[in-house]
Amino acid sequence: MQPVDAERRLQAWLAETTGRGDITLGPVLAGGNSNVTRLIESREGRLVLRHPPIHVVSDRAAAGIEREYRVISALAGRAPVPKAIAWCDDPAVIGQPFAVTEWVEGVALTDRLPAHWPDTDETVNQLGLAMMEGLARVHAVDWREVLPADFARPDGFVTRQVERWLKVRASESVRDLPLLEEIGAWLLANQPASSRASVIHCDFHLDNCLVAPDRPELRVILDWEMATLGDPLVDLGLCLFFWRRDPATQRGFAFVQELTNRPGALPARAGRALVRANRLQPRCHRLLHRVRRLAPCSHRRGRMGASCARQGRHRLFARP
């Protein structure tokens, strides 16, 4: 985006499209690693601009932003997603296609709780349960009612992913990973049968959630550029992979797993109950209520460990 001319064109486009006035382009916001996330100020309130990185060579660079916009538009009012405001596929405005969403003030957490929050494992467990409730709302949406039939191919999603990445590895390998082929073969042979398909996020973890500034309450799920249709257990499995792992395991991207691996996080039996909640969608809220009762049990058994927490970093995104 060229600073002056592009900002003027963006101002004019937003004024005509949304009716907003006194529009100014603000700073780049933290988060959203694969795409640029930027603040927009206006007389009527703040917005968020999402567009691909400036220096890209692929014509498909904006496909993720368009996909994100389509999904959050489809899930509006049904699940905790940012509210879609406008989509522009004309590169003449700022040099690239872009999306605009409303803004919400909140907290994105990775390795610490905000300083003014209770520094307890119960707080972390409440975060996890709030995430699961939000994810269940996403998975409960009948995608056929909100998305076109050609949006994605839900059948065989897991198989395609394993086969695709094994092929990528075979053609682009840079170091020896002797167990990768064995793991891939095992996954193909042992994947469970998928009972149904839903909208799935494909990168669901705490760092892609925005929570209320003053309490462990989910506001929105962010960064939908990889969303597709597939088995809802894909999202749940990734989230649980980041949660309460073996403390002896060396974690990749450790900073986004620090908070969810406190010693007092919900035990594995709670995770299994959450799996049941996703498989048995009509009963999910009742099962989630049962999971909530597990956290006090952990307190009584003395399994809630103490851990220091520092001030959380804040990220601001789109208001639902």
Close Cβ partners of 249 (under 8 Å, ≥ 6 residues apart): none
Domain span including residue 163: 157-193
Residue 55 lies in a domain: yes
Residue 14 lies in a domain: yes
CB 100 within 8 A of CB 185: no
Residue 234 lies in a domain: no
Indicate the pLDDT class of residue 141, thresholds 50, 70 and 90. Answer: very high
Residue 148 lies in a domain: no
What's the pLDDT tens digit per position in 178-202?
A: 899 999 999 999 988 887 899 999 9
| 96 and 174 co-located in one domain | no
Residue 118 lies in a domain: no
The CA-atom distances, in angstroms, between 317 and each of 5, 85, 119, 225 are 25, 13, 25, 15
d(C-alpha 128, C-alpha 141), whole Å: 21
**Structure tokens of 40?**
């927009």
**End of a domain among 39, 73, 102?**
102
What's the pLDDT tens digit per position in 233-263?
A: 999 988 888 887 776 777 776 667 778 887 7
| 11 and 80 co-located in one domain | yes
CA–chain centroid gap for 213, Å, is 18
**End of a domain among 193, 220, 240?**
193
Q: What is the mean pLDDT of the chain?
A: 81
Question: How many helical (H) and strand (E) elements, i.e. helices and strands, does the chain have?
Answer: 10, 9
pLDDT of amino acid 195: 77
Here the CATH number for the domain that contains residue 80 is: 3.30.200.20
Residue 318 lies in a domain: no
Residue 169 lies in a domain: yes
d(C-alpha 110, C-alpha 148), whole Å: 35
CA atoms within 13 A on the CB side of 79: 28
Residue 76 lies in a domain: yes
What's the pLDDT tens digit per position in 37-87?
A: 999 999 999 999 999 887 765 667 789 999 999 999 999 999 999 999 999
Q: How many domains does the chain have?
A: 2
Q: Which residue has the higher pLDDT, 291 or 307?
A: 291
| 164 and 84 co-located in one domain | no
pLDDT of amino acid 319: 31
d(C-alpha 311, C-alpha 116), whole Å: 8
Count of all residues that appear for the chain in the document = 320
Write down the H helix ranges in the chain.
3-18, 63-75, 121-140, 143-146, 157-172, 180-190, 233-241, 268-279, 284-292, 294-300
The DSSP 8-state label assigned to residue 306 in this structure reads: -
**Structure tokens of 131?**
């995430």
**End of a domain among 142, 174, 193?**
193
